[in-house]
Amino acid sequence: MNDKILKQLIAQDFAGVPDPETELRLQRAFILRSAGYKTRQNSFSGFFGWLFTPRQVFAKMAFAVIITAFFFIRPGLNTSRHLPVVIDSTGIDQSRVQDSAFLRLPGRANNDSVF
C-alpha cells in the first residue's frame, strides 16, 4: 500500500452523517442572533454613541463650525429689519416687498391694494 492508496483508502472512509437536529438547532440560533443584528442596524444608538464620545472630536468640531458659519452668512436667516431682502421659502415680509399683487398708490392714505 503506497501513499496514494492510503490516501484513497482514507478519502473513501465513511463515518456517517451529522445529526440533522444539529443543523436545525444551528439555524434557530442563527435566526435569534441575526434578529439582534437587525435591531442594532435600525437603531440610532450607534450614531448617538459616536456623537457624544471624544472620538473624532476634530471632525465633529469642523462640522459644527461649518453649520454655524452657514447660519451667519445666509441673509434669509438674519432677523435684522434694516436689511432689504426678506423673501425665502418660509414666508414673505409684504411690508417690504413690492410685487404685482401689492401696489402702494400715491395719494392714498391707507395701504389697500388696487387691482
What span, in angstroms and rounded, lies between the C-alpha atoms of 60 and 54?
9
* 22 scored as a contact of another protein (CB under 8 A): yes
Our CA angle for 31, 37, 42, nearest 5°, is 125
* 16 scored as a contact of another protein (CB under 8 A): yes
What span, in angstroms and rounded, lies between the C-alpha atoms of 14 and 56?
56
- The one among 34, 43, 53, 111 contacting another protein by CB under 8 A: 34
Quote the distance between the C-alpha of residue 77 and its chain's center: 24
Using the minimum distance from each CB to another protein, give the nearer residue, 6 or 77. Answer: 6
What span, in angstroms and rounded, lies between the C-alpha atoms of 69 and 111?
38
Q: Which stretch binds another protein (CB under 8 A): 7-15, 43-51, 69-77, 95-103?
A: 7-15
Q: Tell me which residues touch another protein (CB under 8 A).
A: 1-3, 6-7, 9-13, 15-19, 22-23, 25-27, 29-31, 33-34, 37-38
